[in-house]
Structure 1
Amino acid sequence: MTHSKGWSFFAENWEVGPIFRALLRNKVGAMLIALQIAFTMTIIVNAIYIIVERSQKMQRPSGIDEANSFFISSVGFSNNFNGLATTQEDLNALRAINGVVDAIQINAVPLSGSGWSMGLQTQPGAEFDGTGAAVYMVDEHALKALDVALIAGENFSATDIQVRVSSQTHWPDKVIITLAMANKLFPQEALAAVGKTVYINDIEPMVVSGIIDKLQAPWVGWDNVENVMLTPEIRDSKSSRYFIRTTSGERDRIMTEVETLLAKSNPQRIIKDMHTLDETRLRAYRDNSAMIRILITVMTILVIITGLGIVGLASFSVNQRKKQIGTRRALGASQQAIVRYFMLENLLISTAGVMIGAIFTVSLNIVLVNAFSLAPITWYYIPLGMIALWLVGQLAVYGPAKKAASIAPAIATRSV
């Protein structure tokens, strides 16, 4: 009995019954708006989740001092060009520049999209699977130049550095790996990996001499982007890439100085491809940035279209029911009651839409997870999406509701 009285009070004061009957008389329009809300919610919630996921990915630290680092390439073109001697002369000159923290020759650059990779395994033999790692060939100055922290073991010494020629297939007997790589090779005992032997090329042993905290591979789209190994090598080649780290605020000045110094020091080569790490990061994530811009544009358009659809349906409803509204006003209904009527009507339509949208959202997310290896959507995105669409609906219907409330009671006496 109490429950029945409560529902009667609710129906009487909030006019649920008349609203349902009115919606049934115009069910096609209400169904279209509900489906539009469902479709909008499905796209927006999944789009926001993708945007957040991509934004977090773009903000991952590379492990290096990006703001104060740049790289530049030297390419010899003369038959008499001595690559190894030139590289050593260049490094000595670069390290002597006032404002340069350190400089190294490196075969690839983090975030650049191009580099070397090899597999490491904890047991020798082709029957065992290796764990992929990006390879950076560097000398004993690498940790300082890259600004990475050694958290276990020791750095390379000058005597560890080997000369690597282009046809070489064997590897040094020491390696420094990232903590992420150590965790992959030695789960539960990553820091204890120092001193242990790993194998490259299936059977070639390398001793883990050190572990660094973080360093990213050149490929930002790689799932194991922090699987990195440093090998103690200097390349004997006509082509060299130098990675230079400067003191804070000195990068741009030193870039100009470095380019001039290298160009004048040896006329038998060309200097090219000088880029900052900031530029490299922008290039690396430009596809993600473009996707975010597109998704934001699509979401904005969908919200506007949905809002306009709600305004259109509400305005049409007001125009169709002017005489009815006037009669209610003549019988004593307040302007607030009229506004409340249309707001509640929209709330019911929106509720149907977001309920359907919740099902569509989960279904689309399952498809995206299977097709693009995305993580499943976090549960709270769905209720947040529902609340957002409810608010859009209420804001969109408020204007037509106010217009309906302004209809004069006298209109009830006019003939159609």
Structure 2
Amino acid sequence: MRNKVGAILIALQIAVTMTIIVNSIFIIMERKELMARESGMDEANSFYIRSSGFAKDFNNQVTVQEDLAMIRGLPGVVDAIQVNAIPISGGGWSMGLQTKPGDDQDGVGVAVYMVDEHGTNTFDVDVIAGQDFNASDIIWRDGDRNDWPDQILITKAMAEDLYPDEDYRNAVGKTVYINRNEPIIIKGIIDKLQAPWIGWNGLERVMLVPQLMDFSAYRYLVRTEPGQRDIIMPKVEEMLASSNKGRIVRELRSMQETRDRSYRRHSAMINILTTVMVILTIVTALGIVGLASFSVNRRKKQIGTRRALGATQGAILRYFMLENFMISTVGVMVGAALTVGLNMWLMQAFELSRIDWYLIPVGMVVLWLVGQIAVLGPAKRAAAIPPAIATRNV
């Protein structure tokens, strides 16, 4: 009570530290949960490469068919496709599907992957209802073509969003509409595949379209046998470059690298918040140590007098531990209120979720422990003060 300012400052420091740490932990947990989402494909054994033709006599269709035949024939390759976009890469195509035709109908956004009959095997997805594409379903699409094939595959998540009141399997055989009025039949349902945009709320709404692209630039997605990816990648690059001199081969990238690039902002945020939490904890602990040491130095004669009157070292130790516990209690109680307030502001400003309730008591316990550990050294020094110091001029 004789040093209110110091105690209040430490309590406020503990409150601010708790507020920032608890909300930071919650944000880190959310980001890690987002980063742990499975794309649905065999990421560990998949890579892609881009081919861009520039020669006047460059034949897109012939080149694609020859390339795919060569890639699929390589030892260690499970399958390969030409594809317009890559899952979780950040760039791709999207459309809207409607259950009824008309300009007045609301559509459900869906990511579009153009594939051939090897698409499900290359992506490593399962057809859980209906049928997969076959070779006769595949058509070529050039830059002037705006119509769509008669059949598509969609993910389970897309089926559930299109028909929320029905079992997803009932979507097989139903007609949906693209471009407002163009009918398409749902041929099958695949289990799971993610869109290119990791921040999209419809991340698992995907449709596979049976089309090959008659474009001068396109990507090949390749799936290898386990452990063969890094061996196959340079072989495919060299093979494509040497097989046709009228093109440029570039952007050779594994799916693991793509995931790391797409989530690097999340990783950076986690690293920054972790650093901030560590620094804040250290600064708070040092503040507690400083206040306790200052208190011990000011009260040496008082402590010595208590020791001379029979107080044990344990009693002196408990006194300082209890004093710190009281200061920490005020700090964590204020911190709990500030934590909730900051979370409510973050929910409104950045659309974050409500903080998990258990994080607040956990944060309180952690800050209590930090306070007790920090004060332990000065408290031990106080307990070691001899009774004789009471007779000295201090």
Q: TM-score range by the shorter chain?
A: over 0.9
- Please state how far the C-alpha of 1:371 moved relative to its aligned partner: 1.4
What does residue 101 of structure 1 align with? 78
- Aligned residue identity for 2:270: I
1:87·1:240 contact (CA, 8 Å) conserved in 2? Answer: no
Which aligned segments of 4 or more residues in structure 1 are displaced greater than 4 angstroms? none
What does residue 288 of structure 1 align with? 266
What does residue 163 of structure 2 align with? 186
2:252 aligned residue (248, 254, 274):
274
Q: Does 1:60 align with 2:37?
A: yes
What does residue 138 of structure 2 align with? 161
Query: Equivalent residues in 2 for 1:108-257 (5 A)?
Result: 108-188=85-165, 189-257=167-235
1:58·1:285 contact (CA, 8 Å) conserved in 2? Answer: yes
- Please state how far the C-alpha of 1:266 moved relative to its aligned partner: 0.9
- Please state how far the C-alpha of 1:240 moved relative to its aligned partner: 1.8
What does residue 12 of structure 1 align with? none
What does residue 406 of structure 1 align with? 384
- Please state how far the C-alpha of 1:167 moved relative to its aligned partner: 2.0
What does residue 315 of structure 2 align with? 337
- Please state how far the C-alpha of 1:84 moved relative to its aligned partner: 1.2
- Aligned residue identity for 1:289: S
1:387 aligned residue (365, 371, 374):
365
Q: How many Å separate the matches in 2 of 1:90 and 1:116?
A: 23
SS at match of 1:125: coil
What does residue 40 of structure 1 align with? 17
Q: How many Å separate the matches in 1 of 2:280 and 2:169?
A: 51
SS at match of 1:132: strand
Q: Does 1:73 align with 2:70?
A: no
- Please state how far the C-alpha of 1:261 moved relative to its aligned partner: 1.0
SS at match of 2:297: helix
1:166·1:236 contact (CA, 8 Å) conserved in 2? Answer: yes
- Aligned residue identity for 1:360: L
- Could you give the per-residue CA deviations for residues 32-57 of structure 1, whole angstroms, max 9, x where no partner exists? 11110000000000000000110111
TM-score (norm: length of structure 1): 0.93
TM-score (norm: length of structure 2): 0.98
Q: How many Å separate the matches in 2 of 1:36 and 1:224?
A: 41
SS at match of 1:252: helix
SS at match of 2:355: coil
- Aligned residue identity for 1:259: E
Q: How many Å separate the matches in 1 of 2:352 and 2:185?
A: 36
Q: How many Å separate the matches in 2 of 1:42 and 1:126?
A: 49
Q: How many Å separate the matches in 2 of 1:116 and 1:311?
A: 58
- Please state how far the C-alpha of 1:318 moved relative to its aligned partner: 0.5
Q: Does 1:301 align with 2:279?
A: yes
Mind listing any 5+ residue stretches in structure 1 that lack a counterpart?
1-23
Q: How many Å separate the matches in 2 of 1:40 and 1:170?
A: 58
Aligned residues: 393
- Please state how far the C-alpha of 1:149 moved relative to its aligned partner: 1.1
1:122·1:197 contact (CA, 8 Å) conserved in 2? Answer: yes
Q: How many Å separate the matches in 2 of 1:337 and 1:227?
A: 65
Instruction: Decide which moves more: 256-265 or 333-342.
Output: 256-265
- Please state how far the C-alpha of 1:415 moved relative to its aligned partner: 2.2
Q: How many Å separate the matches in 2 of 1:125 and 1:251?
A: 46
- Could you give the per-residue CA deviations for residues 341-361 of structure 1, whole angstroms, max 9, x where no partner exists? 000101111010010000100
- Could you give the per-residue CA deviations for residues 254-291 of structure 1, whole angstroms, max 9, x where no partner exists? 11211111111111111111000011010010000000
- Please state how far the C-alpha of 1:157 moved relative to its aligned partner: 1.1
- Please state how far the C-alpha of 1:190 moved relative to its aligned partner: 1.4
Q: How many Å separate the matches in 2 of 1:318 and 1:224?
A: 60
SS at match of 1:98: coil
- Could you give the per-residue CA deviations for residues 96-118 of structure 1, whole angstroms, max 9, x where no partner exists? 11111100000000111110011
Q: What is the aligned-residue identity percentage?
A: 62
SS at match of 1:134: strand
Q: How many Å separate the matches in 2 of 1:63 and 1:194?
A: 20
